[in-house]
Amino acid sequence: MDFSLSSKTQDYLTRLKAFMAEHVYPVEQQIYAETHALNPTGDWTQWQVHPAIEPLKQKAREAGLWNLFLPDADKGQGLSCQDYAPLAEEMGRVLFASEIFNCSAPDTGNMEVLYHFGNQAQQDQWLTPLLNGEIRSVFGMTEPDVASSDATNMAATIDVDGDQLVLNGKKWWSTGLGHPNAKVVIFMGLSNPENDKHNQHSMVIVPLDTPGISIKRMLTAYGDYDAWSGHGEMHFDNVRVPKDNLIMGLGKGFAIAQGRLGPGRIHHCMRAIGMAEKALELAMQRSLSRVAFGKPLLKLGGNGERIAQARMAIDQARLMTLHAAWKIDTVGVKQAMTEISAIKVVVPNMLESVVDMAVQIHGGAGMCGDFPLARMAAGARALRLADGPDEVHMGMVTRLELKKYQDKL
Amino acid sequence: MDFSLSSKTQDYLTRLKAFMAEHVYPVEQQIYAETHALNPTGDWTQWQVHPAIEPLKQKAREAGLWNLFLPDADKGQGLSCQDYAPLAEEMGRVLFASEIFNCSAPDTGNMEVLYHFGNQAQQDQWLTPLLNGEIRSVFGMTEPDVASSDATNMAATIDVDGDQLVLNGKKWWSTGLGHPNAKVVIFMGLSNPENDKHNQHSMVIVPLDTPGISIKRMLTAYGDYDAWSGHGEMHFDNVRVPKDNLIMGLGKGFAIAQGRLGPGRIHHCMRAIGMAEKALELAMQRSLSRVAFGKPLLKLGGNGERIAQARMAIDQARLMTLHAAWKIDTVGVKQAMTEISAIKVVVPNMLESVVDMAVQIHGGAGMCGDFPLARMAAGARALRLADGPDEVHMGMVTRLELKKYQDKL
Amino acid sequence: MDFSLSSKTQDYLTRLKAFMAEHVYPVEQQIYAETHALNPTGDWTQWQVHPAIEPLKQKAREAGLWNLFLPDADKGQGLSCQDYAPLAEEMGRVLFASEIFNCSAPDTGNMEVLYHFGNQAQQDQWLTPLLNGEIRSVFGMTEPDVASSDATNMAATIDVDGDQLVLNGKKWWSTGLGHPNAKVVIFMGLSNPENDKHNQHSMVIVPLDTPGISIKRMLTAYGDYDAWSGHGEMHFDNVRVPKDNLIMGLGKGFAIAQGRLGPGRIHHCMRAIGMAEKALELAMQRSLSRVAFGKPLLKLGGNGERIAQARMAIDQARLMTLHAAWKIDTVGVKQAMTEISAIKVVVPNMLESVVDMAVQIHGGAGMCGDFPLARMAAGARALRLADGPDEVHMGMVTRLELKKYQDKL
Amino acid sequence: MDFSLSSKTQDYLTRLKAFMAEHVYPVEQQIYAETHALNPTGDWTQWQVHPAIEPLKQKAREAGLWNLFLPDADKGQGLSCQDYAPLAEEMGRVLFASEIFNCSAPDTGNMEVLYHFGNQAQQDQWLTPLLNGEIRSVFGMTEPDVASSDATNMAATIDVDGDQLVLNGKKWWSTGLGHPNAKVVIFMGLSNPENDKHNQHSMVIVPLDTPGISIKRMLTAYGDYDAWSGHGEMHFDNVRVPKDNLIMGLGKGFAIAQGRLGPGRIHHCMRAIGMAEKALELAMQRSLSRVAFGKPLLKLGGNGERIAQARMAIDQARLMTLHAAWKIDTVGVKQAMTEISAIKVVVPNMLESVVDMAVQIHGGAGMCGDFPLARMAAGARALRLADGPDEVHMGMVTRLELKKYQDKL
């Protein structure tokens, strides 16, 4: 066993931390505050990316800290899932940092889909500008009218009409839909109801300006629009795209989703771990600097124990996620399903509890916009649902545990 | 023992439920949605009360469902703390319901202060319009620059200058400060630093238009401004009011606060219990109407057990709060401090966990504004800090437990 | 609402506490220690009741503190379920106290069965000596070879053969089977498999010396035999008793069990609450008298908060149990099923967590026989299974919650 | 990063598993049952090791599966802390397995002390027979009359009298004291009260037959004597040993204890993880083979989710422990104190909750001696206190977290 980071990872991590220290942390709080002022309402048509972001992206690209998530050595940096994991953690400490390094969800997942399953034309048209950070993308999977915890419930339709595909249905919680640069959606829908239930759906590339798409609204996630990126609801009403926009083939939707799955989990879990570290750091600073009943808060009642609980929970969650990344790299997603499901349950719950502790230590300041804690809390809560609720992933862990016994019974 | 409601309470409860059923529930969701549209930003100077509210207030007053919280038979309805408790629960089911019956915090607490401790002139000037629902009020206690969990940290100052009091300092989390009708603040500050620590502070009535008061901003509570009421930050810069605005006397701040304490706890705890019942109701409806993996959500995995846990937690919390109310009525606040402290810990935590379960059952719909759940979650979280964090109240319970042993040691 | 005890209850409670203070507490620890010495092994045939018990029973009877559980004014003391509840709590503080007042499980439940459902001859033969404290009894329900959480799984058989009933099967966890005075078992078995599933079983009175009964062993409950009472396994091999020993009639087993259910729950829950109070008391005493790192344990880290959590959990559980008792008294068991099921989940879990806290405060002393805490822990753990596991009772709460919605769907 | 086991570990693990499968598992349940029959009471003078153990030890030694814990290549097997960890896990699955491979606590810790800090004569006299499995040893640290959570409370004394050391005081919870082969105790006591608090204590080797030592009793740990090994209380009354029996030097007690600490934690945590795996395995088997309400238990309510929770908790705890082992191997105990403290909190709590779930699945069978679960539960509970209570280790984690901030404040 060797728990140390590879020298390659170590090098990237050192450079990333230096970049964050020099360019990001100094403007972090300012960008939070100004973003809110720039985007005061839910009217996404008026949303603006904070003006500091584009220059930071340029700097990051010049520093070679760009598309770190993509294992491809030319298009990305040649970093494996486990190599990238600690970098994702570092980015997770600042709410907008991923965008600077062109490592934002759902673009990363979408780029992976296009990279692995897109054809050359699809890659040229969409992967290239995404890799260049020129456009943003969204993913259309969750639907308002069915229980999306069971993905096979998905009811939006894809019909073949000659050389065209005709899309109908509603999608919501499409993260990034409010971003001024959002140009394309990967739409998942029911195309082959005649097949068995994991081969009925397809994925289609749809430019967001295609007629028939209406963006109905941005949704608040626990009160916040998460501007300038947002989470949107969009309706598809006889939206027509060329059949060439189909990814891989009809009925391949779940196969693609499965492939997209593993690394994406690692990414968001590691970002969540970075966020938890940041929350713990804020809690430490606050609990050492504020005094009540004659002592710093850290010394009062069970506060110290809660700090310890946070440290222990974060460290366990990190090891579990790194182990899952290592399994993805070494034996593949299919053999790592227990681990990939487990981190989806463990990490968001850990994050939620660490952030909650930090908020409690901050008192009223923790609930308002003076610290990023309330948004972290909302993010943590959302993560317990996004990409499937806890219960669905626990169900997967149980099923895989059961498999070990079925032969013996 | 008799756990049944008095016939008086039963009568009011029947009438209140009928009023809610006829006038409030039918417009509940519409008012939520329109409120958000009416008040899209944090610019509180533009905030408007939903136009349906004032007519509802008139109807409630005509129906004799007015100032239910006040035990006085003339100014209120002559309902004791335990009598009012089930009514507060019913109001808690709808986020804006208390205002309709002139039972909103912090007005109720402020009215109690004026009723019990205000002189005739103070009552005439401020209690009367508050009881008439003509104006709203705020309470200025929590401060941004000190740990308010220790109330004796309070640093805003009250200086006597001849016939005037001069107020300086910052207050935040003043709930209701953004309300268009907010006209007056009860300000608490340090007036007598030479006294022992529970006799150093005073309470002063301050009209909100007094020169020197600046309302700096409304705060988001977990992303939401809670418009049209809001939680504000205000600064006092040599604010001068006549000495007649002092309540009771110099150094009486904590004595008044103590008196204000008990019934207020009952009120917000019972509202929280009503909110939890509403959340459970939403969870039941959603889990019975949505299907995944071939079954209604209620039948999946541990969902049924979570419903049972919610039912058991709510019922326990209600009994505990009613018992505390009964103790306040029969032996007084001072003899009920364990109970009053305990409900402050138990009820908000119960609410938070019930609402969280309901959100999880709702999936993405639970996180956005389509249901009141996200605001309930924010409210529950805030309640774990408002009026003192959990830890402070647990400390009180521990101290009172300890007292039982001190003689024996 | 009135949370105060009736004057009758208050009188009994005062007398009971005085009796405990004068006669029981002074010998409590000595009886624990000597019991262990008297009954060093699991060989139940050698078990002896501690010699102090029989004289204490006489004293209790003379003091009118006898059969307090039975509402009948002649045979018991005319105390309702809610009247008796606080007395059961007081008894629960000492592991052997119930026996002194002839209020031990399972005798109380068996006496209730005989009182309500037994005929005159059955009452004369068995109820009378039980009420006199001359004999003890056991209940034969749980079976080793089926999942007893589903009581309809019960597989032991009752066959009618002319004037006789022939019993076959295995029963275990028959509490009290090792008691030297145990003379009779109420045996529940499958008599009418042709009926619907709640009318297939019957209850039969079986003297323990009937040929064909073999007591196989006493079981350890978390390492302890609970001598001198014990939990036994007994096998029935063509055991023949007169048909007159049948209670009520064939197929009435579950109907009787249902009637036996409610008050029994109140009793063991209230005893559990008394036990929790005792554990909290021990925790307070230990945490105030032991010093580490320069402070009494109570002042270290989260210990104070844990004391508060215990106090709050006990108080909630007590109110919930008293409320359930009041519902049994006023509207009957059938209308109180949510409450009766809820306390079965809430109280044992509360007890377990309070006792665990107390053990942790005691360190090694808490784990060994120097304090009653380890046995309390075992008792608490067993209560989470006895009379049905938590999960079954949560299922009942869920089902009853669901009923409220079924008409509306 | 590389989470795979070294080929050396893999080889040992394969052989160990084969040995367990061939020689241990087949007799596991029989040995449990017969041990109980052989040692029916707490009279340790009559205790016997099960006769199968000594032959199994011989077989293990011949198979090269002997003293696996000791990194020394000659005296042990040359396995590092991380190499040994998975072997300890395997042994943890069976309650008596460690003894077979001469890897039992507290012998392992005592052998490490003698190996690292004993002089040649001490090693010849005591380490050699311990390494040969000829004798057993105990550790005398915890005391009945002080709060041992603060080790500096230790009050037993060591006085120098010429060439002799004179020992006085009481020790309890000395594990293994009841073992027929127990011959020696490493006694820790206060020798230099004039020093600072971590240099006041010394460790001394004391043959158990030295005059003045009286073994007062064996203690039950949650009702069980853990015969044939046991946990004893012994009193030292002017016990005299040659000064040569001092380990390292006067005042070195804590320095030695610190060195003994790290690997010992890994050992018992990994055994606990093996025990948890066994408990989960039992839970799976039971929940698949028992039926209630028409379904195997696994399919009922939240049972499946609890299985998943157990799997996730075990996997996290294992990774955390392996990581701690790796840090001990690579940077040493002092640099791994957060990890070593954290596993002491995380692993026993995880074990307790997994075993509790397994007991619940087993119902009454889980509480009695028919399965090893009740003893596992007692063992888990004891581990939350043994070697310091949870709270002390959380305190260490908090302190180390705090250190990161002290420079910055």
Read off the pLDDT of each residue in D118-133 and give the average, rounded to a whole number.
Answer: 98
**How far is the CA of A26 from the CAs of A31, A278, B207, in angstroms?**
10, 15, 41
Question: Which residue type occupies A145?
Answer: D
**Cβ contact B220–A293 (<8 Å):** no
- Residue A383 reports pLDDT greater than 60: yes
What is the number of CB-based contacts under 8 A between chain A and chain B? 147
Query: Do strands D231-242 and D201-207 pair parallel, antiparallel, or not at all (unpaired)?
Result: unpaired
**Cβ contact B304–D301 (<8 Å):** yes
| Minimal CA separation from D221 to chain C, in Å | 5
CB of D297 within 8 A of CB of C147? yes
User: Closest-CA residue in chain B for D298?
Assistant: B301
**Cβ contact C345–B312 (<8 Å):** yes
Q: What's the CA gap between B163 and C409, in Å, rounded?
A: 67
CB of A19 within 8 A of CB of A65? yes
Residue A296 confidence (pLDDT):
96
CB of A205 within 8 A of CB of A245? yes
Residue D44 confidence (pLDDT):
97
Q: What's the CA gap between C150 and C137, in Å, rounded?
A: 24
**How far is the CA of D150 from the CAs of C171, C297, C403, D153, in angstroms?**
48, 10, 55, 6
Residue B409 confidence (pLDDT):
53
User: Closest-CA residue in chain A for C306?
Assistant: A302
A-chain residues near C305 (CB < 8 A): 301-302
Name the residue among D42, D367, D375 with its Cβ closest to that of C382.
D367
SS3 D246: strand
User: Closest-CA residue in chain A for D83?
Assistant: A1
What is the number of CB-based contacts under 8 A between chain A and chain C? 13
B-chain residues near D305 (CB < 8 A): 301-302
Question: Which residue type occupies C145?
Answer: D
| Ramachandran bin of D91, using left for φ above 0, alpha for ψ from -120 to 50, beta for the remaining angles | alpha
**Cβ contact A316–D312 (<8 Å):** no
User: Closest-CA residue in chain C for D374?
Assistant: C222
A-chain residues near D403 (CB < 8 A): none
Mutate: best of A150, A285, A384, partner B, most B CBs <10 A: A150
Which DSSP category does C219 fall into? P
Greatest pairwise CA separation for chain A in angstroms: 77
- Residue D137 reports pLDDT greater than 80: yes
User: Which residue(s) pair with A324 in the sheet?
Assistant: none
User: Closest-CA residue in chain C for A302?
Assistant: C302
**Segment B224-249, tens digit of pLDDT:** 999 999 999 999 999 999 999 999 99
Name the residue among D1, D4, D309 with its Cβ closest to that of A82.
D1
Query: Do strands C291-292 and C231-242 pair parallel, antiparallel, or not at all (unpaired)?
Result: unpaired
Q: Which string of DSSP letters, residue by residue, matches D44-83?
A: GGG----TTHHHHHHHHHHTT-SSTT---TTTS----HHH
- Letter string b/e over residues A195-212, b meaning 16 or more CB atoms within 10 A of that residue's CB: eeeebbbbbbbbebebee
Residues of B contacting chain D (CB within 8 angstroms)? 301-302, 304-306
User: Which residue(s) pair with C160 in the sheet?
Assistant: C165
Residue C409 confidence (pLDDT):
53
Q: Which domains does chain C have, with CATH numbers?
A: 7-131 (1.10.540.10), 137-253 (2.40.110.10), 254-406 (1.20.140.10)
What Rg value do the Cα atoms of chain B yield, rounded?
A: 21
Q: What's the CA gap between C55 and C52, in Å, rounded?
A: 6
CB of B384 within 8 A of CB of B348? yes
Q: What's the CA gap between D298 and D285, in Å, rounded?
A: 9
User: Closest-CA residue in chain B for C325?
Assistant: B1
| Minimal CA separation from C257 to chain B, in Å | 23
Query: Do strands B201-207 and B182-190 pair parallel, antiparallel, or not at all (unpaired)?
Result: antiparallel
Residue in the structure block whose two tokens are 């570990």: D9
D-chain residues near B306 (CB < 8 A): 302
A-chain residues near B375 (CB < 8 A): 223
User: Closest-CA residue in chain D for A392?
Assistant: D305
Structure tokens at D45: 């003078």
Helices B373-383/B337-362 angle, 10° precision: 150
Read off the pLDDT of each residue in C135-161 and give the average, rounded to a whole number.
Answer: 95
Residue B30 confidence (pLDDT):
96
| Cα-to-chain-centroid distance, residue B48 | 21
Query: Do strands D295-296 and D164-175 pair parallel, antiparallel, or not at all (unpaired)?
Result: unpaired
SS3 assignment for A70-121: CCCCCCCCCCCHHHHHHHHHHHHCCCCHHHHCCCCCCHHHHHHHHHHHCCHH
Read off the pLDDT of each residue in A315-325 and give the average, rounded to a whole number.
Answer: 98
Q: How many helices and strands in chain A, by DSSP H and E?
A: 14, 9
Read off the pLDDT of each residue in B254-267 and give the average, rounded to a whole number.
Answer: 90
| Ramachandran bin of B169, using left for φ above 0, alpha for ψ from -120 to 50, beta for the remaining angles | left
**Cβ contact D305–B304 (<8 Å):** no
Name the residue among C147, C301, C360 with its Cβ closest to that of D290.
C147
**Cβ contact B41–A43 (<8 Å):** no
C-chain residues near D353 (CB < 8 A): none
Read off the pLDDT of each residue in D345-351 and give the average, rounded to a whole number.
Answer: 98
Q: What's the CA gap between B147 and B203, in Å, rounded?
A: 19
**Cβ contact C308–B397 (<8 Å):** yes
User: Closest-CA residue in chain A for C300?
Assistant: A301
Q: Which helix (H) or strand (E) holds A160?
A: strand A157-161
| Minimal CA separation from A393 to chain C, in Å | 22
| Minimal CA separation from A147 to chain D, in Å | 19
| Minimal CA separation from D305 to chain B, in Å | 7
Q: What's the CA gap between A404 and A337, in Å, rounded?
A: 14
ipTM exceeds 0.95, yes or no:
yes
The proportion of chain A whose per-residue pLDDT surpasses 70, expressed as a percent, equals 99
| Minimal CA separation from D327 to chain A, in Å | 9
CB of A381 within 8 A of CB of B355? no
- Residue D113 reports pLDDT greater than 80: yes
Q: How crowded is residue B285: how many other Cβ atoms within 10 Å of its Cβ?
A: 16
- Residue A408 reports pLDDT greater than 70: no
Q: What are phi and psi of B10, to 5 degrees?
A: -60, -40
CB of B176 within 8 A of CB of B164? no
Residue A68: pLDDT band (50, 70, 90) is very high
Which chains reach chain B with 3 or more Cβ–Cβ distances below 8 angstroms?
A, C, D
Structure tokens at D121: 């004569």
CA-nearest of D130, D101, D102, D104 to D115 is D130
B-chain residues near D299 (CB < 8 A): none
User: Which residue(s) pair with B189 in the sheet?
Assistant: B202
Residue D409: pLDDT band (50, 70, 90) is low
| Minimal CA separation from D297 to chain C, in Å | 9
Read off the pLDDT of each residue in B251-271 and give the average, rounded to a whole number.
Answer: 92
CB of B12 within 8 A of CB of B87? yes
- Residue A124 reports pLDDT greater than 60: yes
Residue A259 confidence (pLDDT):
78
| Minimal CA separation from D182 to chain C, in Å | 21
Residue A193 confidence (pLDDT):
96
Taking all residues of chain D, what is their mean pLDDT, rounded to a whole number? 96
Q: What's the CA gap between B206 and B215, in Å, rounded?
A: 13
A-chain residues near D312 (CB < 8 A): 320, 342, 345-346, 397
Residue C47 confidence (pLDDT):
98
